[in-house]
């Protein structure tokens, strides 16, 4: 069994944390910061035969072997640890549990090859830049329900709504669409889904029926493989940088994977600001530092990113983040309106 990667704060980190807590008039929670991750115990994985996946738009077929997936997943679960974050929520302080461990990356995402693969993903994805000066650039692949031009709008009962759809660079026939249908991309999505479900079963069980429902109501063509993920986004552009404190308020659930070699810094920081957090006043509302997950190539993290304030500390080197997530606006649309409006406008949207 692989050794555990225990979260430890060195003297310099603790000094910075104490100074921050003093300046912000927060009580320094030594106990919370010294929480060590526990080993996660899972039932043995069951091996099942290969299944065939057919993408509904592009008629692209990929054979994904569950036996390979499960064996790789067993290795990943053996390295998985729990970390704890206390956060202010309505009604008081709530304790959240998150997982981190080694994600079974394919060879294309190894330390030797990740840079080339990452740059290709960036080239076929839609770049999004936040207005915040400390925000890392995002490269969106898959589906979206964000602000758009006229042809993606539809009037329903005197109300104009934004239709969910594949991003422009992922329309059928594009390189992005081919990447979305790629066997190894689908395998990564399946790994990420299974790890997320394992976490949710133990630490957020109310999420399970929502994830199952998402796979029933959201058209398969808007998801990666037969998973509940609607998007794969790259965070950071392999340049020196940092990512400001934020909450992923538009995500039902997400899982992130760190990639990079010879990286200095780039830890994931978790704060206790919770429901008090305000993007217009970050430093005063993010709260105190609760936990730190150090950078490691191939390390995944999954937790309640929509509820917990988190950030990426400043780094030097070609660091990147792969983020799988289920978009809440896409799920809400199909829960409320069904899929008839999407299919009625699909040919026009992808023309």
pLDDT digits (tens, 9 = 90+) for 22-80: 443 332 233 333 344 444 443 333 434 444 555 555 555 566 566 666 677 777 778 89
CB-CB contact of 164 with 342 (8 Å): yes
Of the listed ranges 143-152, 234-243, 335-344, the one predicted with least confidence: 143-152
Whole-number pLDDT of residue 204: 96
pLDDT digits (tens, 9 = 90+) for 132-166: 656 789 999 999 998 776 678 888 888 888 999 99
Would you kindly state where each structural domain of the chain is located, as residue ranges? 11-349
pLDDT digits (tens, 9 = 90+) for 64-100: 566 666 677 777 778 899 999 999 998 899 999 999 9
- Count the residues in the chain: 351
| pTM attached to this predicted model | 0.84
Strand residues in 157-230 grouped as ranges (E): 159-162, 165-166
> CA 174, 178, 179: angle at the middle one, nearest 5?
115
- Which pairs count as long-range contacts for 133-136, CB under 8 Å and 24+ apart, including other chains? 134/242, 134/243, 134/244, 135/243, 135/244, 135/246, 136/235, 136/236, 136/237, 136/241, 136/242, 136/243, 136/312, 136/321
Band the pLDDT of 329: cuts 50, 70, 90: very high
Whole-number pLDDT of residue 323: 98
- What lies within 8 Å, CB to CB, of 317 at 6+ separation is 240, 260, 261, 262, 263, 264, 266
Q: What is the CA radius of gyration of the chain?
A: 20
d(C-alpha 314, C-alpha 274), whole Å: 22
């Amino acid at each position: 069994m692989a050794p555990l990667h225990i979260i430890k704060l060195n003297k310099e980190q603790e000094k910075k944390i104490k100074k921050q807590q003093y300046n912000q008039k927060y009580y320094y929670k030594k106990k919370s910061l010294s929480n060590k991750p526990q080993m996660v115990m899972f039932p043995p994985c069951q091996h099942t035969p290969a299944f065939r996946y057919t993408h509904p738009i592009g008629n692209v077929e990929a054979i994904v072997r569950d036996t390979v997936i499960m064996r790789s997943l067993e290795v990943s679960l053996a390295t998985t640890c729990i970390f704890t974050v206390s956060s202010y929520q309505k009604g008081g302080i709530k304790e959240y549990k998150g997982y981190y461990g080694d994600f079974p990356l394919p060879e294309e995402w190894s330390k030797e090859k990740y840079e080339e693969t990452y740059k290709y993903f960036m080239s076929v994805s839609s770049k999004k830049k936040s207005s915040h000066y400390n925000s890392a650039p995002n490269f969106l692949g898959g589906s979206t329900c964000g602000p758009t031009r006229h042809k993606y709008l539809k009037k329903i009962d005197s109300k104009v709504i934004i239709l969910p759809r594949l991003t422009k660079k992922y329309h059928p026939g594009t390189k992005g669409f081919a990447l979305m249908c790629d066997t190894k991309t689908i395998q990564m999505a399946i790994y990420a889904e299974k790890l997320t479900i394992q976490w949710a079963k133990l630490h957020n069980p109310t999420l399970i029926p929502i994830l199952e429902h998402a796979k029933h109501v959201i058209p398969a063509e808007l998801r990666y493989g037969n998973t509940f993920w609607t998007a794969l986004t790259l965070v950071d552009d392999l340049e020196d940088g940092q990512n400001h404190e934020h909450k992923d308020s538009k995500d039902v659930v997400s899982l992130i994977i760190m990639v990079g070699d010879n990286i200095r810094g780039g830890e994931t920081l978790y704060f206790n600001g919770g429901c008090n957090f305000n993007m217009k006043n970050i430093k005063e509302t993010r709260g105190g530092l609760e936990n730190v997950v150090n950078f490691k190539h191939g390390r995944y993290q999954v937790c309640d990113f929509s509820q917990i304030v988190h950030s990426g500390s400043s780094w030097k080197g070609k660091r990147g983040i792969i983020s799988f997530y289920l978009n809440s606006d896409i799920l809400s649309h199909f829960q409320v309106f069904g899929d008839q409006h999407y299919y009625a406008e699909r040919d026009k949207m992808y023309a």
